[in-house]
Amino acid sequence: YRLVKFRSMCSLNIPSDNPFLPSELLSSKVIYSVASAMGHNKLSHPECNSRVPAIIDLLSKMKLAPQFRGTEIVELERYRSATADDIASVHERAYVSGLEMAMDEASKRRLILIEGSGPTYATSSTFNESLLAAGAGLSLVDAVVAASKLREDPPIGFALVRPPGHHAIPAGPMGFCVFGNVAIAARYAQRIHGLKRVFIIDFDVHHGNGTNDAFYNDPDVFFLSTHQDGSYPGTGKMDDVGEGAGEGTTLNLPLPGGSGDSAMRDVFSDVIVPSAHRFKPDIILVSAGYDGHVLDPLAGLQMTTGTYYMLATGIRMLARELCRGRCVFFLEGGYNLSSLSYSVADTFLGFLGEPSRASELDNPAVLYEEPLKRVEEAINRVKSIHSL
């Protein structure tokens, strides 16, 4: 990729140490950042370092990369690492400093478990690469917010980063996740850009318990999670709606196993859209997990690639209607490299307003009947709880 020239953005409230908005953003539709964390890897682990490169390879193959699209698609090649203060806006400082100190042990042993006996690991590069992942998202927030001050249809951002973040609780790591990338970006948008009301959509197949916990008492951050009922980590019950001043700004919708495209279409129109319209956000952030795909090995929903196109298109329209187009996606789960890559590519097509190419991957023969009666019951119950 060629290097892009950067112009001063001081007048656009971009932090002076982070002047990373390229002039191409004046006409771009998608801006993405890449933090592959190649050193953060464990053999045969589903959250491995081949995930992001697989996405990048397919984007190139489908001509959805900058070299094929001029300024329509821009890679934010230069971005800063998140600072300890950025991370500490969500996580306890003792955890941040403790993880940094654990890098010596990880260097000696090559790999350590940082979640007790759980599935979250660290290598000697995990701390710095996790700071890069969070920083790649923050820099996208800067770029999208600045572009929204120049035009009514700013690009949508996508942080193609790992390790993922939505399970990481304030006190520590969990479920493959080290730092809460989306949660950190939400606090950053508030603190640096004065965007008070943040709407977070989490469509990963697993409940985003870390993001849930970070904002459970906060009336200015609306967290909405759809996830498979009974799946890891077992949190995200429908009655968990926030507490104190934040009561009503957490919405959890566990879906029965086997839910698929029809279920998610109804969830989007009947739950996500009215929730967003009522909340009136200043920015929308998305925990984009692609492990609800029918081909993914770690769960039991049956979304197809086309559902992720629908979500990308719908969320893009919501952002344009409600918050001047300000929207950033963050990669979370997705462990079948083929379905992950095609779903992200179709997400890009949704951002661009171009036709879906889901048929290149989706095979209707692998689908089975959805439990639509139970889905309807779940949607009606959550609508009743939240007066939608």
Question: 18 pLDDT band (50/70/90 cuts)?
Answer: very low
- As to burial, measured by CB atoms within 10 angstroms (0-12 exposed, 13-18 middle, 19+ buried), residue 340 is buried
pLDDT at residue 70, rounded to an integer: 86
Rounded to an integer, the average pLDDT of 211-229 is 98
Specify whether the CB–CB gap between 205 and 231 falls below 8 A. Answer: yes
Question: 20 pLDDT band (50/70/90 cuts)?
Answer: very low
Instruction: Decide: helix, strand or coil at residue 221.
Output: strand
Residue 282 structure tokens: 């200043």
DSSP symbol at 328: E
Amino acid identity for residue 300 in this structure: G
As a whole number of angstroms, the distance between CA 354 and CA 289 comes to 22
DSSP symbol at 282: S
Question: 22 pLDDT band (50/70/90 cuts)?
Answer: low
Asked whether the predicted pLDDT for residue 218 surpasses 80, the reply is: yes
Amino acid identity for residue 150 in this structure: L
Rounded to an integer, the average pLDDT of 343-364 is 96
CA 51 to chain centre: 15
Asked whether the predicted pLDDT for residue 6 surpasses 50, the reply is: no
**In DSSP terms, which residues pair with 157 in a beta bridge?**
31, 328
pLDDT digits (tens, 9 = 90+) for 72-109: 999 998 899 999 999 999 999 999 999 999 999 999 99
Residue 373 structure tokens: 């009666």
Asked whether the predicted pLDDT for residue 24 surpasses 90, the reply is: no
Rounded to an integer, the average pLDDT of 167-188 is 97
Question: 351 pLDDT band (50/70/90 cuts)?
Answer: very high
pLDDT at residue 19, rounded to an integer: 45
pLDDT at residue 15, rounded to an integer: 45
Looking at the chain, the whole-number percentage of residues with pLDDT higher than 70 is: 94
Residues 6+ apart with CB under 8 A from 33: 75, 76, 79, 136, 137, 139, 140, 157, 158, 159, 160, 161
pLDDT at residue 40, rounded to an integer: 95
Residues 6+ apart with CB under 8 A from 11: none
Written in H, E and C, the secondary structure of 151-214 is CCCCCEEEEEECCCCCCCECCECECCECCCHHHHHHHHHHHHHCCCCEEEEECCCCCCHHHHHH
Rounded to an integer, the average pLDDT of 140-145 is 95
Give the largest CA-CA distance in the chain: 55
Question: 229 pLDDT band (50/70/90 cuts)?
Answer: very high
Q: What is the mean pLDDT of the chain?
A: 92
Rounded to an integer, the average pLDDT of 191-217 is 98
Question: 1 pLDDT band (50/70/90 cuts)?
Answer: very low
Question: 27 pLDDT band (50/70/90 cuts)?
Answer: confident
Catalytic residues: 167
Asked whether the predicted pLDDT for residue 283 surpasses 80, the reply is: yes
Q: Is the dihedral of CA 246, 249, 253, 254 positive or negative?
A: negative
pLDDT at residue 21, rounded to an integer: 55
pLDDT digits (tens, 9 = 90+) for 296-323: 999 999 999 999 999 999 999 999 999 9
Specify whether the CB–CB gap between 207 and 155 falls below 8 A. Answer: no
Structural domains in the chain, CATH included, are 30-386 (3.40.800.20)
